[in-house]
Structure 1
Protein backbone atom coordinates (compact mmCIF):
# COMPACT_ATOMS: atom_id res chain seq x y z
CA UNK A 1 0.00 0.00 0.00
CA UNK A 2 2.97 2.30 0.52
CA UNK A 3 3.59 2.61 -3.23
CA UNK A 4 -0.04 2.98 -4.25
CA UNK A 5 -1.24 6.54 -4.76
CA UNK A 6 2.15 8.14 -4.06
CA UNK A 7 3.45 8.80 -7.58
CA UNK A 8 0.71 9.64 -10.08
CA UNK A 9 2.89 10.19 -13.15
CA UNK A 10 1.80 6.93 -14.78
CA UNK A 11 -1.80 7.58 -13.79
CA UNK A 12 -1.62 11.01 -15.42
CA UNK A 13 -0.34 9.55 -18.69
CA UNK A 14 -3.02 6.85 -18.68
CA UNK A 15 -5.92 9.21 -18.00
CA UNK A 16 -4.65 11.84 -20.42
CA UNK A 17 -4.74 9.23 -23.18
CA UNK A 18 -8.19 8.09 -22.06
CA UNK A 19 -9.49 11.68 -22.23
CA UNK A 20 -8.48 11.76 -25.91
CA UNK A 21 -8.07 15.50 -26.09
CA UNK A 22 -10.90 16.47 -23.77
CA UNK A 23 -9.83 19.08 -21.21
CA UNK A 24 -12.21 19.34 -18.27
CA UNK A 25 -11.67 22.42 -16.14
CA UNK A 26 -13.70 21.19 -13.18
CA UNK A 27 -13.10 18.08 -11.07
CA UNK A 28 -15.67 16.75 -8.59
CA UNK A 29 -15.03 14.26 -5.79
CA UNK A 30 -18.20 12.51 -4.64
CA UNK A 31 -18.74 11.62 -0.99
CA UNK A 32 -20.46 8.64 0.61
CA UNK A 33 -23.79 7.79 -0.95
CA UNK A 34 -23.65 10.60 -3.53
CA UNK A 35 -22.67 8.40 -6.48
CA UNK A 36 -26.04 8.86 -8.20
CA UNK A 37 -24.77 12.18 -9.54
CA UNK A 38 -22.63 10.21 -11.99
CA UNK A 39 -25.82 8.95 -13.65
CA UNK A 40 -26.63 12.51 -14.75
CA UNK A 41 -23.52 12.85 -16.90
CA UNK A 42 -24.04 13.16 -20.64
CA UNK A 43 -21.67 11.82 -23.30
CA UNK A 44 -19.78 10.14 -20.48
CA UNK A 45 -16.87 7.71 -20.46
CA UNK A 46 -15.90 5.65 -17.43
CA UNK A 47 -12.61 4.29 -16.14
CA UNK A 48 -12.35 2.07 -13.06
CA UNK A 49 -9.74 3.06 -10.51
CA UNK A 50 -8.18 -0.41 -10.71
CA UNK A 51 -7.39 0.28 -14.38
CA UNK A 52 -5.44 3.44 -13.50
CA UNK A 53 -1.75 2.79 -12.70
CA UNK A 54 -0.93 3.08 -8.98
CA UNK A 55 -4.57 3.69 -8.07
CA UNK A 56 -6.46 1.22 -5.91
CA UNK A 57 -9.97 -0.12 -5.69
CA UNK A 58 -12.20 1.76 -3.31
CA UNK A 59 -12.43 -0.04 0.01
CA UNK A 60 -15.44 1.73 1.53
CA UNK A 61 -19.12 1.01 0.92
CA UNK A 62 -20.71 3.86 -1.01
CA UNK A 63 -17.54 4.66 -2.98
CA UNK A 64 -17.63 2.88 -6.33
CA UNK A 65 -14.04 3.58 -7.36
CA UNK A 66 -14.73 4.90 -10.85
CA UNK A 67 -13.55 7.94 -12.79
CA UNK A 68 -16.01 9.57 -15.18
CA UNK A 69 -15.66 12.29 -17.78
CA UNK A 70 -18.80 13.88 -19.20
CA UNK A 71 -21.03 16.92 -19.25
CA UNK A 72 -23.38 18.01 -16.52
CA UNK A 73 -25.34 21.27 -16.62
CA UNK A 74 -23.23 22.44 -19.54
CA UNK A 75 -19.87 21.82 -17.87
CA UNK A 76 -17.33 19.20 -18.93
CA UNK A 77 -16.25 17.60 -15.67
CA UNK A 78 -13.89 14.98 -14.33
CA UNK A 79 -15.91 13.09 -11.74
CA UNK A 80 -14.29 10.91 -9.09
CA UNK A 81 -16.91 8.50 -7.79
CA UNK A 82 -15.22 7.41 -4.62
CA UNK A 83 -12.33 8.68 -2.55
CA UNK A 84 -9.63 7.24 -0.32
CA UNK A 85 -9.61 7.73 3.45
CA UNK A 86 -6.87 7.96 6.05
CA UNK A 87 -8.64 5.32 8.17
CA UNK A 88 -8.16 2.75 5.39
CA UNK A 89 -4.43 2.81 6.14
CA UNK A 90 -3.40 5.32 3.50
CA UNK A 91 -1.29 8.34 4.37
CA UNK A 92 -2.70 11.85 4.29
CA UNK A 93 -0.71 12.35 1.05
CA UNK A 94 -2.03 9.20 -0.59
CA UNK A 95 -5.69 10.08 -0.06
CA UNK A 96 -5.15 13.20 -2.18
CA UNK A 97 -4.20 11.24 -5.33
CA UNK A 98 -7.44 12.13 -7.19
CA UNK A 99 -6.87 15.83 -6.48
CA UNK A 100 -3.28 15.70 -7.66
CA UNK A 101 -4.38 13.84 -10.79
CA UNK A 102 -7.00 16.49 -11.53
CA UNK A 103 -4.39 19.23 -11.15
CA UNK A 104 -1.91 17.47 -13.42
CA UNK A 105 -4.64 17.10 -16.06
CA UNK A 106 -5.22 20.84 -16.09
CA UNK A 107 -8.35 21.23 -13.98
CA UNK A 108 -8.69 24.71 -12.51
CA UNK A 109 -11.59 24.12 -10.14
CA UNK A 110 -12.26 21.40 -7.59
CA UNK A 111 -15.58 20.63 -5.93
CA UNK A 112 -15.28 18.37 -2.89
CA UNK A 113 -18.41 16.75 -1.50
CA UNK A 114 -18.91 14.63 1.56
CA UNK A 115 -21.48 13.15 3.90
CA UNK A 116 -21.09 14.81 7.28
CA UNK A 117 -22.54 14.78 10.76
CA UNK A 118 -24.38 17.93 11.71
CA UNK A 119 -23.10 19.68 14.83
CA UNK A 120 -24.58 23.18 14.77
CA UNK A 121 -27.93 23.43 16.52
CA UNK A 122 -29.70 24.65 13.37
CA UNK A 123 -28.60 21.61 11.37
CA UNK A 124 -31.11 18.99 10.28
CA UNK A 125 -30.48 15.70 8.52
CA UNK A 126 -30.99 16.34 4.81
CA UNK A 127 -29.49 19.85 4.86
CA UNK A 128 -26.44 20.96 2.91
CA UNK A 129 -23.52 23.09 4.04
CA UNK A 130 -21.12 25.18 1.99
CA UNK A 131 -17.78 24.85 3.77
CA UNK A 132 -16.43 28.25 4.74
CA UNK A 133 -13.39 27.06 6.73
CA UNK A 134 -12.09 23.97 8.48
CA UNK A 135 -10.65 22.67 11.74
CA UNK A 136 -7.90 20.04 11.62
CA UNK A 137 -6.90 18.65 15.00
CA UNK A 138 -5.78 15.26 13.70
CA UNK A 139 -2.05 15.97 13.71
CA UNK A 140 -2.00 14.90 10.05
CA UNK A 141 -1.18 17.02 7.03
CA UNK A 142 -0.68 15.73 3.47
CA UNK A 143 2.29 18.04 2.89
CA UNK A 144 4.39 16.75 5.81
CA UNK A 145 7.67 15.33 4.51
CA UNK A 146 6.88 16.21 0.90
CA UNK A 147 9.13 18.27 -1.40
CA UNK A 148 5.91 20.11 -2.25
CA UNK A 149 5.68 21.36 1.33
CA UNK A 150 5.45 25.10 1.55
CA UNK A 151 3.91 27.54 3.97
CA UNK A 152 0.61 27.39 2.11
CA UNK A 153 -1.78 30.19 3.05
CA UNK A 154 -5.19 28.69 3.88
CA UNK A 155 -6.81 32.02 4.81
CA UNK A 156 -9.12 31.92 1.79
CA UNK A 157 -9.07 28.23 1.02
CA UNK A 158 -12.75 27.70 0.19
CA UNK A 159 -14.70 29.58 -2.47
CA UNK A 160 -17.72 31.06 -0.74
CA UNK A 161 -18.32 34.59 -2.07
CA UNK A 162 -21.39 33.31 -3.92
CA UNK A 163 -23.05 31.84 -0.82
CA UNK A 164 -25.82 34.40 -0.40
CA UNK A 165 -26.81 34.31 -4.07
CA UNK A 166 -26.69 30.53 -4.10
CA UNK A 167 -28.67 30.24 -0.89
CA UNK A 168 -31.34 32.63 -2.17
CA UNK A 169 -31.74 30.50 -5.30
CA UNK A 170 -31.94 27.25 -3.35
CA UNK A 171 -34.48 28.62 -0.87
CA UNK A 172 -36.90 28.97 -3.78
CA UNK A 173 -36.48 25.21 -4.30
CA UNK A 174 -36.92 24.37 -0.61
CA UNK A 175 -33.28 23.28 -0.24
CA UNK A 176 -31.62 24.23 3.04
CA UNK A 177 -28.03 25.40 2.59
CA UNK A 178 -25.91 26.54 5.52
CA UNK A 179 -22.45 28.06 5.56
CA UNK A 180 -20.12 26.70 8.21
CA UNK A 181 -16.87 25.24 9.47
CA UNK A 182 -16.05 21.58 8.76
CA UNK A 183 -14.01 19.54 11.24
CA UNK A 184 -11.88 16.59 10.14
CA UNK A 185 -11.72 13.52 12.38
CA UNK A 186 -9.80 10.41 11.36
CA UNK A 187 -12.43 7.69 11.90
CA UNK A 188 -13.34 4.97 11.19
CA UNK A 189 -15.42 5.11 14.36
CA UNK A 190 -17.92 7.89 14.77
CA UNK A 191 -17.02 10.59 17.26
CA UNK A 192 -18.05 10.44 20.91
CA UNK A 193 -20.58 12.93 22.28
CA UNK A 194 -17.75 14.54 24.27
CA UNK A 195 -15.70 15.03 21.11
CA UNK A 196 -18.70 16.58 19.35
CA UNK A 197 -19.20 18.95 22.29
CA UNK A 198 -15.55 19.96 21.98
CA UNK A 199 -15.85 20.56 18.24
CA UNK A 200 -19.00 22.62 18.71
CA UNK A 201 -17.26 24.73 21.35
CA UNK A 202 -14.44 25.32 18.86
CA UNK A 203 -16.89 26.55 16.24
CA UNK A 204 -17.38 23.51 14.00
CA UNK A 205 -20.76 23.22 12.28
CA UNK A 206 -20.25 19.70 10.88
CA UNK A 207 -17.73 16.85 11.02
CA UNK A 208 -16.41 14.52 8.33
CA UNK A 209 -13.72 11.84 7.90
CA UNK A 210 -12.44 13.32 4.64
CA UNK A 211 -12.15 16.42 2.44
CA UNK A 212 -9.71 18.58 4.39
CA UNK A 213 -6.45 16.91 3.25
CA UNK A 214 -7.75 17.09 -0.33
CA UNK A 215 -8.51 20.78 0.07
CA UNK A 216 -5.04 21.51 1.45
CA UNK A 217 -3.31 19.84 -1.49
CA UNK A 218 -5.67 21.52 -3.95
CA UNK A 219 -4.64 24.89 -2.54
CA UNK A 220 -0.98 23.90 -2.91
CA UNK A 221 -1.64 23.25 -6.60
CA UNK A 222 -3.53 26.55 -6.92
CA UNK A 223 -6.93 25.06 -7.65
CA UNK A 224 -10.07 27.06 -6.90
CA UNK A 225 -11.75 24.93 -4.22
CA UNK A 226 -15.37 24.69 -3.11
CA UNK A 227 -16.71 22.09 -0.70
CA UNK A 228 -20.26 20.94 -0.02
CA UNK A 229 -21.23 18.78 2.95
CA UNK A 230 -24.44 16.80 2.86
CA UNK A 231 -25.72 16.53 6.41
CA UNK A 232 -26.62 12.86 6.28
CA UNK A 233 -27.15 12.61 10.04
CA UNK A 234 -26.77 14.55 13.23
CA UNK A 235 -23.53 13.98 15.11
CA UNK A 236 -23.07 11.84 18.23
CA UNK A 237 -25.05 13.03 21.22
CA UNK A 238 -27.54 14.79 18.94
CA UNK A 239 -29.15 11.62 17.63
CA UNK A 240 -29.90 8.17 19.02
CA UNK A 241 -27.99 5.96 16.60
CA UNK A 242 -25.22 6.27 14.00
CA UNK A 243 -24.93 3.71 11.18
CA UNK A 244 -23.04 3.89 7.88
CA UNK A 245 -25.87 2.20 6.00
CA UNK A 246 -28.19 4.99 7.10
CA UNK A 247 -25.65 7.48 5.76
CA UNK A 248 -25.64 5.75 2.37
CA UNK A 249 -29.42 5.59 2.23
CA UNK A 250 -29.67 9.25 3.13
CA UNK A 251 -27.22 10.15 0.35
CA UNK A 252 -29.29 8.31 -2.23
CA UNK A 253 -32.39 10.17 -1.11
CA UNK A 254 -30.50 13.46 -1.55
CA UNK A 255 -29.57 12.86 -5.18
CA UNK A 256 -32.30 15.03 -6.69
CA UNK A 257 -31.61 17.92 -4.35
CA UNK A 258 -27.87 17.58 -4.98
CA UNK A 259 -28.47 17.88 -8.71
CA UNK A 260 -30.42 21.11 -8.19
CA UNK A 261 -27.67 22.41 -5.93
CA UNK A 262 -25.00 21.71 -8.54
CA UNK A 263 -27.04 23.36 -11.29
CA UNK A 264 -27.35 26.52 -9.21
CA UNK A 265 -23.74 26.38 -8.00
CA UNK A 266 -22.40 26.27 -11.55
CA UNK A 267 -24.34 29.45 -12.34
CA UNK A 268 -22.58 31.36 -9.55
CA UNK A 269 -19.14 29.68 -9.51
CA UNK A 270 -17.45 29.90 -12.87
CA UNK A 271 -13.90 29.47 -14.15
Structure 2
Protein backbone atom coordinates (compact mmCIF):
# COMPACT_ATOMS: atom_id res chain seq x y z
CA UNK A 1 0.00 0.00 0.00
CA UNK A 2 2.81 2.44 0.87
CA UNK A 3 4.38 1.97 -2.55
CA UNK A 4 1.03 2.62 -4.23
CA UNK A 5 0.60 5.81 -2.16
CA UNK A 6 4.05 7.00 -3.22
CA UNK A 7 3.43 6.14 -6.88
CA UNK A 8 0.17 8.09 -6.90
CA UNK A 9 1.79 11.08 -5.19
CA UNK A 10 4.67 11.01 -7.69
CA UNK A 11 2.21 10.96 -10.61
CA UNK A 12 0.29 13.93 -9.17
CA UNK A 13 3.53 15.88 -8.61
CA UNK A 14 4.43 15.33 -12.25
CA UNK A 15 1.01 16.59 -13.40
CA UNK A 16 1.14 19.66 -11.13
CA UNK A 17 4.83 20.52 -11.64
CA UNK A 18 5.69 19.74 -8.00
CA UNK A 19 2.95 21.95 -6.55
CA UNK A 20 3.39 21.56 -2.77
CA UNK A 21 0.19 22.25 -0.80
CA UNK A 22 0.29 23.44 2.81
CA UNK A 23 -3.35 22.61 3.57
CA UNK A 24 -5.53 19.67 2.57
CA UNK A 25 -9.29 20.30 2.47
CA UNK A 26 -12.02 17.65 2.24
CA UNK A 27 -15.37 19.03 1.08
CA UNK A 28 -18.46 17.09 2.13
CA UNK A 29 -21.96 16.76 0.69
CA UNK A 30 -23.29 20.09 -0.58
CA UNK A 31 -20.05 21.89 0.31
CA UNK A 32 -18.19 21.51 -2.97
CA UNK A 33 -18.77 25.17 -3.92
CA UNK A 34 -15.76 26.12 -1.78
CA UNK A 35 -13.68 24.91 -4.70
CA UNK A 36 -14.89 27.96 -6.64
CA UNK A 37 -13.15 30.17 -4.05
CA UNK A 38 -9.80 28.61 -4.81
CA UNK A 39 -7.47 30.33 -7.28
CA UNK A 40 -7.14 27.11 -9.23
CA UNK A 41 -3.85 26.19 -10.84
CA UNK A 42 -4.54 22.50 -11.52
CA UNK A 43 -7.65 20.30 -11.42
CA UNK A 44 -7.45 16.52 -11.72
CA UNK A 45 -10.47 14.24 -12.11
CA UNK A 46 -10.36 11.33 -9.67
CA UNK A 47 -10.89 8.89 -12.52
CA UNK A 48 -7.62 10.07 -14.10
CA UNK A 49 -5.50 9.60 -10.95
CA UNK A 50 -3.79 6.20 -10.64
CA UNK A 51 -5.00 4.27 -7.59
CA UNK A 52 -7.76 6.76 -6.70
CA UNK A 53 -11.29 5.50 -6.09
CA UNK A 54 -14.15 7.28 -7.86
CA UNK A 55 -16.90 9.04 -5.89
CA UNK A 56 -20.35 7.63 -6.67
CA UNK A 57 -22.41 9.99 -4.47
CA UNK A 58 -24.53 12.79 -5.91
CA UNK A 59 -23.14 16.15 -4.82
CA UNK A 60 -19.53 14.94 -4.92
CA UNK A 61 -17.94 16.15 -8.18
CA UNK A 62 -14.85 13.98 -7.92
CA UNK A 63 -11.97 16.37 -8.54
CA UNK A 64 -8.70 17.19 -6.82
CA UNK A 65 -8.20 20.97 -6.94
CA UNK A 66 -4.77 22.58 -6.53
CA UNK A 67 -4.50 26.31 -6.01
CA UNK A 68 -4.34 29.16 -3.53
CA UNK A 69 -6.62 30.46 -0.79
CA UNK A 70 -5.60 33.77 0.76
CA UNK A 71 -2.11 33.28 -0.64
CA UNK A 72 -1.64 29.78 0.82
CA UNK A 73 -1.23 26.69 -1.35
CA UNK A 74 -4.05 24.17 -0.88
CA UNK A 75 -5.28 20.90 -2.30
CA UNK A 76 -9.03 20.32 -2.02
CA UNK A 77 -11.01 17.14 -2.49
CA UNK A 78 -14.24 18.12 -4.21
CA UNK A 79 -16.03 15.02 -3.01
CA UNK A 80 -14.85 12.18 -0.79
CA UNK A 81 -15.16 8.40 -0.59
CA UNK A 82 -17.32 6.46 1.84
CA UNK A 83 -17.29 3.00 3.35
CA UNK A 84 -20.94 2.56 2.32
CA UNK A 85 -19.97 2.89 -1.35
CA UNK A 86 -18.30 -0.50 -1.01
CA UNK A 87 -14.77 0.79 -0.61
CA UNK A 88 -12.49 -0.62 2.05
CA UNK A 89 -11.11 1.71 4.69
CA UNK A 90 -7.69 1.73 3.02
CA UNK A 91 -9.36 3.10 -0.12
CA UNK A 92 -11.51 5.60 1.80
CA UNK A 93 -8.42 7.09 3.45
CA UNK A 94 -6.03 6.69 0.50
CA UNK A 95 -6.34 10.38 -0.56
CA UNK A 96 -5.32 11.61 2.91
CA UNK A 97 -2.21 9.43 2.73
CA UNK A 98 -1.45 10.84 -0.71
CA UNK A 99 -1.98 14.44 0.43
CA UNK A 100 0.53 13.86 3.23
CA UNK A 101 3.06 12.68 0.65
CA UNK A 102 2.35 15.83 -1.37
CA UNK A 103 3.34 17.90 1.66
CA UNK A 104 0.23 19.07 3.56
CA UNK A 105 0.83 20.30 7.12
CA UNK A 106 -2.85 20.77 8.07
CA UNK A 107 -6.09 18.98 7.20
CA UNK A 108 -9.47 20.76 7.15
CA UNK A 109 -12.49 18.44 6.96
CA UNK A 110 -16.17 19.20 6.49
CA UNK A 111 -19.36 17.19 6.31
CA UNK A 112 -23.12 17.35 6.37
CA UNK A 113 -24.58 15.74 9.48
CA UNK A 114 -27.74 15.12 11.44
CA UNK A 115 -28.10 17.09 14.66
CA UNK A 116 -28.43 15.12 17.88
CA UNK A 117 -28.00 17.96 20.35
CA UNK A 118 -31.48 19.45 20.79
CA UNK A 119 -30.09 22.99 20.96
CA UNK A 120 -28.86 22.70 17.36
CA UNK A 121 -30.87 24.02 14.41
CA UNK A 122 -30.75 23.19 10.70
CA UNK A 123 -28.04 25.30 9.11
CA UNK A 124 -25.83 25.53 12.19
CA UNK A 125 -22.07 25.07 11.89
CA UNK A 126 -20.70 22.67 14.50
CA UNK A 127 -16.97 22.74 15.16
CA UNK A 128 -15.99 19.12 15.83
CA UNK A 129 -14.28 18.83 19.21
CA UNK A 130 -14.05 15.02 19.27
CA UNK A 131 -15.56 11.96 17.63
CA UNK A 132 -16.99 8.52 18.37
CA UNK A 133 -16.05 5.90 15.78
CA UNK A 134 -18.68 3.28 14.93
CA UNK A 135 -16.96 2.19 11.71
CA UNK A 136 -14.10 -0.25 11.13
CA UNK A 137 -10.86 1.45 12.13
CA UNK A 138 -8.78 2.32 9.04
CA UNK A 139 -5.56 1.38 10.87
CA UNK A 140 -6.53 -2.29 11.20
CA UNK A 141 -3.92 -4.40 9.42
CA UNK A 142 -0.16 -4.09 9.07
CA UNK A 143 1.12 -0.74 10.32
CA UNK A 144 2.97 1.52 7.88
CA UNK A 145 5.68 2.50 10.36
CA UNK A 146 7.16 5.03 7.96
CA UNK A 147 3.94 7.04 8.28
CA UNK A 148 3.07 6.64 11.95
CA UNK A 149 3.09 4.48 15.10
CA UNK A 150 1.24 1.21 15.63
CA UNK A 151 -0.86 2.71 18.45
CA UNK A 152 -1.41 6.41 17.71
CA UNK A 153 -2.79 8.64 20.45
CA UNK A 154 -6.14 10.26 19.66
CA UNK A 155 -6.02 12.97 22.35
CA UNK A 156 -6.38 16.42 20.79
CA UNK A 157 -7.68 14.66 17.68
CA UNK A 158 -9.22 17.96 16.56
CA UNK A 159 -6.54 20.54 17.19
CA UNK A 160 -7.34 22.80 20.16
CA UNK A 161 -5.29 25.70 18.83
CA UNK A 162 -7.18 25.62 15.53
CA UNK A 163 -10.50 25.45 17.40
CA UNK A 164 -9.52 28.48 19.50
CA UNK A 165 -8.56 30.36 16.33
CA UNK A 166 -11.90 29.46 14.72
CA UNK A 167 -13.74 30.75 17.77
CA UNK A 168 -11.98 34.11 17.60
CA UNK A 169 -12.50 34.45 13.85
CA UNK A 170 -16.19 33.53 14.14
CA UNK A 171 -16.68 36.25 16.74
CA UNK A 172 -14.99 38.79 14.47
CA UNK A 173 -17.03 37.71 11.45
CA UNK A 174 -20.35 37.36 13.27
CA UNK A 175 -20.56 33.64 12.49
CA UNK A 176 -22.48 31.55 15.01
CA UNK A 177 -20.71 28.33 15.95
CA UNK A 178 -21.83 25.26 17.84
CA UNK A 179 -19.36 22.77 19.30
CA UNK A 180 -19.73 19.06 19.73
CA UNK A 181 -18.86 15.40 19.26
CA UNK A 182 -19.35 13.80 15.85
CA UNK A 183 -20.57 10.19 15.68
CA UNK A 184 -19.35 8.41 12.56
CA UNK A 185 -21.47 5.47 11.35
CA UNK A 186 -21.34 3.34 8.23
CA UNK A 187 -24.57 4.42 6.49
CA UNK A 188 -25.98 4.46 3.89
CA UNK A 189 -29.28 4.46 5.79
CA UNK A 190 -30.16 7.59 7.70
CA UNK A 191 -30.25 6.81 11.41
CA UNK A 192 -33.34 5.52 13.18
CA UNK A 193 -34.86 7.46 16.07
CA UNK A 194 -33.59 4.78 18.45
CA UNK A 195 -30.08 5.13 17.03
CA UNK A 196 -30.18 8.90 17.50
CA UNK A 197 -31.27 8.42 21.11
CA UNK A 198 -28.38 5.98 21.58
CA UNK A 199 -25.92 8.42 20.03
CA UNK A 200 -27.15 11.12 22.37
CA UNK A 201 -26.80 8.81 25.38
CA UNK A 202 -23.17 8.00 24.54
CA UNK A 203 -22.23 11.67 24.16
CA UNK A 204 -22.82 12.51 20.51
CA UNK A 205 -23.96 15.90 19.24
CA UNK A 206 -24.15 15.18 15.49
CA UNK A 207 -24.03 12.05 13.33
CA UNK A 208 -22.82 11.28 9.84
CA UNK A 209 -21.27 8.70 7.53
CA UNK A 210 -17.76 10.05 6.90
CA UNK A 211 -14.85 12.08 8.30
CA UNK A 212 -13.75 9.85 11.19
CA UNK A 213 -11.60 7.45 9.10
CA UNK A 214 -9.87 10.37 7.39
CA UNK A 215 -9.17 12.07 10.71
CA UNK A 216 -7.78 8.87 12.28
CA UNK A 217 -5.37 8.45 9.38
CA UNK A 218 -4.34 12.13 9.50
CA UNK A 219 -3.60 11.87 13.21
CA UNK A 220 -1.68 8.63 12.61
CA UNK A 221 0.61 10.84 10.48
CA UNK A 222 0.63 13.67 13.09
CA UNK A 223 -1.26 16.12 10.87
CA UNK A 224 -3.28 18.72 12.86
CA UNK A 225 -6.99 18.55 11.98
CA UNK A 226 -9.81 21.11 12.01
CA UNK A 227 -13.35 19.88 11.34
CA UNK A 228 -16.78 21.41 10.78
CA UNK A 229 -20.16 19.72 10.47
CA UNK A 230 -23.05 21.51 8.77
CA UNK A 231 -26.25 20.48 10.57
CA UNK A 232 -28.58 19.63 7.68
CA UNK A 233 -31.37 17.94 9.62
CA UNK A 234 -32.39 17.37 13.23
CA UNK A 235 -32.31 13.65 13.85
CA UNK A 236 -34.56 13.55 16.91
CA UNK A 237 -37.41 15.37 15.15
CA UNK A 238 -40.16 13.59 13.21
CA UNK A 239 -39.02 15.09 9.91
CA UNK A 240 -38.03 12.57 7.25
CA UNK A 241 -34.58 13.26 5.81
CA UNK A 242 -33.46 12.77 2.20
CA UNK A 243 -30.17 13.29 0.36
CA UNK A 244 -31.49 16.16 -1.78
CA UNK A 245 -32.40 18.18 1.30
CA UNK A 246 -29.01 17.46 2.85
CA UNK A 247 -27.37 18.92 -0.28
CA UNK A 248 -29.61 22.01 -0.22
CA UNK A 249 -28.96 22.76 3.44
CA UNK A 250 -25.25 22.10 3.04
CA UNK A 251 -25.06 24.53 0.14
CA UNK A 252 -26.84 27.29 2.12
CA UNK A 253 -24.67 26.95 5.22
CA UNK A 254 -21.56 26.44 3.12
CA UNK A 255 -21.19 30.18 2.56
CA UNK A 256 -20.42 30.75 6.26
CA UNK A 257 -18.13 27.72 6.38
CA UNK A 258 -16.24 29.03 3.37
CA UNK A 259 -15.59 32.38 5.07
CA UNK A 260 -14.42 30.62 8.24
CA UNK A 261 -12.04 28.35 6.29
CA UNK A 262 -10.68 31.28 4.28
CA UNK A 263 -9.86 33.34 7.37
CA UNK A 264 -8.29 30.37 9.14
CA UNK A 265 -6.12 29.51 6.16
CA UNK A 266 -5.07 33.15 5.83
CA UNK A 267 -3.78 33.12 9.42
CA UNK A 268 -1.88 29.83 9.27
Task: Describe the superposition over 1:89-144 as per-residue Cα deviations: whole angstroms up to 9, x where unpaired.
Answer: 11122100110010111111111111111111111111111111111133x10011
Q: Do structure 1's residue 108 and structure 2's residue 105 form an aligned pair?
A: yes
Q: What is the alpha-carbon root mean square deviation over aligned residues?
A: 1.9
**Partners in 2 of 1:264 and 1:164 — Cα distance?**
13
1:242 equivalent in structure 2:
241
2:44 equivalent in structure 1:
47
SS of the residue 1:67 aligns to: strand
**Partners in 2 of 1:83 and 1:266 — Cα distance?**
21
2:213 equivalent in structure 1:
213
Indicate conservation of the 8 Å contact 1:117/1:234, yes or no. Answer: yes
122-131 or 5-14: bigger deviation: 5-14
Aligned counterpart for 2:128 among listed residues 128, 131, 134: 131
- Deviation, 1:226, is 1.2
Higher helix proportion (structure 1 or 2): 2
Instruction: Give structure 2 stretches of 5+ with no counterpart.
Output: none
- Deviation, 1:165, is 4.8
**Partners in 1 of 2:56 and 2:152 — Cα distance?**
30
1:58 equivalent in structure 2:
55
Task: Describe the superposition over 1:181-223 as per-residue Cα deviations: whole angstroms up to 9, x where unpaired.
Answer: 1101100000101110011111111111000011111111111
TM-score, normalization: structure 1?
Answer: 0.91
162-171 or 219-228: bigger deviation: 162-171
Q: Do structure 1's residue 25 and structure 2's residue 42 form an aligned pair?
A: no
155-164 or 176-185: bigger deviation: 155-164
1:255 equivalent in structure 2:
254
SS of the residue 2:51 aligns to: coil
2:194 equivalent in structure 1:
194
Indicate conservation of the 8 Å contact 2:159/2:226, yes or no. Answer: yes
SS of the residue 1:134 aligns to: strand
Instruction: Give structure 1 stretches of 5+ with no counterpart.
Output: none
- Deviation, 1:173, is 3.9
TM-score, normalization: structure 2?
Answer: 0.92
- Deviation, 1:172, is 4.9
2:94 equivalent in structure 1:
97
Q: Do structure 1's residue 231 and structure 2's residue 231 form an aligned pair?
A: yes
1:100–1:176 CA distance, 2 compared to 1 (3 A):
same
Q: Matched residue pairs, number? A: 264
